[in-house]
Amino acid sequence: MTGHDAHGQDWDRAPGEEYINGLGMGQAFALYGVGLFLAVLLTAVSFYISGTGIVWKPSIPVALVVLAIAQMGIHVVFFLHITTGPENTNNVMALGFGILIVLLIVVGSVWIMNHMNHSMLPMQQIMQMQR
């Protein structure tokens, strides 16, 4: 969907943002309903794919990751109303910063867990120190 800024230029608008800009509440609820339907549909498809043999078994994790990314996109657009419009620049930057922080925490935690045994003393030396 597109809208216009103060200078008459087009920019992207998220579903549901129209209510803020003058559309009725019924139309806004309908757009939230579309987002809810899509989110529930993607969740049901994820469960269906993982429980049946419709997808080649080694590719199930890839299919689930693709569906998860699609569902995140649904949530960002339909419920958080984050788009590329000029009014949403701070929202997009905050979302990007949040994703960066989460990635740093996850990658750092995995790295620490994988290298934890390498940095520890062998068990025999620990037992000798306690005597």
Q: Which residue has the higher pLDDT, 14 or 86?
A: 86
pLDDT digits (tens, 9 = 90+) for 76-126: 888 888 877 777 778 888 888 989 999 999 999 999 888 887 777 777 887
- Res 1: pLDDT: 47
Residue type, 37: F
CA 31 to chain centre: 19
pLDDT at 41: 97
